[in-house]
Structures are given as structure tokens and as C-alpha cells.
Amino acid sequence: MALWPGRVAVDFMGASTTYQKLGEAVCRGASVLDGYGIRKGDRVAISLPNCTSHMVAFYSVLRLGAIVVEVNPAVT
């Protein structure tokens, strides 16, 4: 992220997100999860469709050293 902060990291439905903005969102997300008590080795379920928010949540969990458990949001 530090090499190309201005380059587009995600282009989802016409909305572009740069590496810098993605990195900032991941830091904020990791901070929120840390506030909820998520620690290294914990399992965190993510039930989101393929979107930018999913990427932020995914990398926020990994940033804390926790384990992502993917849940298909289409399954009832």
C-alpha cells in the first residue's frame, strides 16, 4: 500500500478506492474489532457479498492476526 498510495486498489460498481483509502479503512476496521476484544487466533465470521466492505472487513480481521470464517450471505 505504501508503494502506490494513489493507485486504484478496488473498482467496484464504478466507485474507485485507492490503496491509501483502503489502508485507512482497514486500520479503522481493525481498531473497531480490537475495541470489541478480537485478538490473535480468534475466529471472526464475515457474512457480506463481494464488495469493498467485504475486503475491508477481511483485511481488518487479518491485521489483528485473527482468522476469517467466510459465511455465504445467500444461504438462509
Question: Is pLDDT at 1 greater than 70 in this prediction?
Answer: no
Mean pLDDT within 49-54: 92
Domain carrying residue 37 = 8-70
Percent of the chain whose predicted confidence (pLDDT) is above 70: 97
Kindly report the backbone phi and psi dihedral angles of residue 39, in degrees, each rounded to the nearest multiple of 5, phi listed first: -125, 170
Higher local confidence (pLDDT), 71 or 2: 71
CA distance 64 to 49: 22
In-domain check, residue 50: yes
Mean pLDDT within 25-34: 97
Question: Is pLDDT at 76 greater than 80 in this prediction?
Answer: no
Mean pLDDT within 30-41: 97
In-domain check, residue 19: yes
Tell me, what CATH number does 29's domain have?
3.40.50.980
Per the structure, the count of domains in the chain is 1
